[in-house]
Amino acid sequence: MKQFGCFRLDTGNECLWREEEQIALPPRTFMVLRYLVEHPGRLITHDELLDALWPETYVQPQVLRTYMLELRKLLGDDAAEPRFIQTLPKRGYCFMAAVCECAEPERGAGPSHARDGARAITKGIVGRDEELDRLLQQMALAACGERQVVFVTGEVGIGKTALVDAFCHELGAEWSVARGQCVDGFGEKEEYYPMMEALGQLCAPGSGDAAAGVMARMAPAWMRALGRVHDTATVTNTERMPGDLCAALEQIADDKPLMLVFEDLHWADPSTLQLIVALSRRRAPAKLMVVATCSAGDAEHPQRAMRQNLLMRQLAAEVALGPLTQSAVRELLNRELAQEKLPQGLPGFVHQHSEGNPLFAIAIVEHLIARRFLVRQQRDGALEWQPAGPIEEMEAEVPDRVAQMIELEIESLSADEQRVLGAGSVMGIAFPAWAVAAALDEDQAAIEEACAGLARRVHFVERGGQDELPDGTRSEFYVFVHGLYREVLYRRQAATRRAEWHKHIADRLGVMFRGREWAVAREVAMHREAAGEWAAAAEALRHAARHANASGARDEAAALLDDVHRLEENAPGANGSLAAKDGTNAAGEGTNRQGHRKLQIVSEKLDEFWTGS
């Protein structure tokens, strides 16, 4: 435990003590404070702090300012006359106070989330008990000599690594664990890259001497590649033979069960994939388990075919991660905010906009804090996170970190693929191929083929089914698996391009539904409005209102006229002409300025509208 001034940083329970008062810290805030306290008396640059706490993740340096403000408030520090955290402009920070070690408090005094009662929180995951139990069942089989290969699959940010971390934590000292990371672009440059990383851990000097001895005897070429064989003359064959390595790993596992973990297998080189196949197909008993995380998309990568082949032959198992439930998101927020009672409506808001993706959920919370939509307020003698205003009025923006991550994925696609997805985004979460073809003014069959290829390769778009068009033909439609992907794609398009695409789709709808334009009036109006064709949007709604009135659907007619008034009020330079030219007024159409219909007035006045038109 680290002590400075009247404070103690409890690294075991991840909290702060002010004399005998315990102060709970959100995990990220604790991580920032811990790094400062563990490196006192020197400059800690922005880059150093970001690299240490957010490795391999781009985070804007401005985020640090939010945490420093929060820490200064907790510590009672003053930026102008700092006692603890000194800001060095344009460079970083310095923790000024003297730091010393002190005794640990009684374990029972720690916060409840750091004790045994909250298994998922301790392991850093929520809502994954079933998946964790599945891995533990496979582990039990491996411990009995039935070798296991398990693929953990899911979209980006769904929590694959967190689940594997929790699983490895369950293994304890009874297993040897070696991990290897597949890296994008390395597959074509270096064979067996993740396997060599895992072997380096397994045969590390000291703790891995026994494993190194087995490898030197049974697979010397692999040890030579690690740089661990000094007498190269003893290695007659320098080629790394998969069979030699498989036999050596089985021998190592005979003394102590062995777990090999490969992260991001969708970036693995072909040799690593072939090695996994070889390990799975060998028939000799072995206390060996391979766990590999991989993206659910990219059907054209060899790992997809390899994985499906092993699953079909029952030589492997799959643990597929889906979105978190709202209750699991609530538990995630309890952990991230270190707060048991959450503001009413916050879990639902975060779940709706993250769609159950843990990475997105955390990013949304961090975004709300950075934008001061969530602030710490004093309540019942304690600081709690509370919304600065009504939850329902919070802005559902795409968090910067998520937007940057999505942008990187989009940039990896070709220019034509980006155009197809961009055109699809103007339709919403779901987009039919015919609409993309209309927006781009290209052949529908070619667009169908392009969309099908994207659904196979890109994890954030998938095939949704087929639509039957008015002429009897059918068109495939596709779905963005997450609304944030659609939002980023839509916003990255130039306004003039979006307007052009909306106009082309509206024109195509008019052709497809000629004679029945009323059936798609709202869709046409939406696209006309987005294209800036306000008068045409209003006319489409009027036409549908006339049809609804003639059919006796007066409520629907009134609702359509409400939309005409909205267009009238929002159109650039609007002066009431969009509706007034039809001889109507707001009261006669049963609409007030807040959009609430007075149906009793509508029933009396609608006839006046139709006579005037």
pLDDT at 585: 34
How does pLDDT run across 181-215, given as a tens digit for each residue?
998 776 567 889 999 999 999 998 888 899 999 99
CB within 8 Å of 508: residues ≥ 6 apart: 434, 435, 438
Residue 430: DSSP 8-state: E
Q: What is the structure's pLDDT at 297? A: 61
Average pLDDT, rounded, for the chain: 82
Tell which residue, 483, 445, 153, has the closest CA to residue 304: 153
Q: What is the number of H-type helices and E-type strands within the chain?
A: 26, 18
Cα 85 to Cα 7: distance, rounded to the nearest angstrom: 14
2-114 and 397-493 in the same fold: yes
Share of the chain above pLDDT 90, in %: 30
Instruction: State pLDDT tens for residues 430-465.
Output: 899 999 999 999 999 999 999 998 888 787 888 888
Give, in degrees to the nearest 5, the angle at Cα 275 between 274 and 281: 90
Average the pLDDT over 511-515 and give the result.
Answer: 90
The pLDDT value recorded for residue 300 is 59
User: Band of the pLDDT at 582, cuts 50, 70, 90?
Assistant: very low
What gap in Å lies between CA 386 and CA 333, rounded to an integer?
13
Residue 592 has pLDDT above 50, yes or no: no
Confidence of residue 612 (pLDDT cuts 50, 70, 90): very low
Distance from C-alpha of 335 to C-alpha of 372, rounded to nearest angstrom: 20
| pLDDT at residue number 161 | 92
Comparison of pLDDT for 588 and 185, the residue scoring more? 185
CATH topology of domain 2-114: Arc Repressor Mutant, subunit A (1.10.10)
Where along the chain do its domains lie? 2-114, 123-320, 326-389, 397-493, 515-613
Nearest CA to 437 out of 530, 538, 520, 511 is that of 511
Neighbouring-strand partners of residue 467: 475
pLDDT at position 569: 78
Q: What's the confidence (pLDDT) of residue 580?
A: 39
Phi-psi sector, 470: left (phi>0), alpha (psi -120 to 50), beta: alpha
Average pLDDT, stretch 375-385?
A: 81
User: Among 337-346, 463-472, 488-497, whose mean pLDDT is lowest?
Assistant: 463-472
pLDDT score for 172: 76
Identify the pLDDT of residue 330: 92
Which range in 62-71, 319-328, 462-471 is most confidently predicted, on average pLDDT?
Answer: 319-328
CATH class of segment(s) 397-493? mainly alpha
- Give the residue with greater pLDDT, 149 vs 234: 149
Q: What's the confidence (pLDDT) of residue 115?
A: 31
Answer yes or no: is pLDDT of 552 > 60: yes
What was the pLDDT predicted at 236? 64
The band of 599, judged by pLDDT with boundaries at 50, 70 and 90, is very low
pLDDT for 441:
93
Whole-structure pTM value: 0.65
Considering the domain delimited by 123-320, tell me its CATH architecture.
3-Layer(aba) Sandwich (3.40)
pLDDT in the model for residue 206: 86
What are the start-end ranges of the E strands in 441-548? 461-468, 474-480
Mean pLDDT, residues 65-83: 82
The letter for the amino acid at 609 is F
132-171 pLDDT per residue, tens: 989 999 998 999 899 999 999 998 889 999 999 999 988 8
Which residue is it, tokens 């664990």? 177
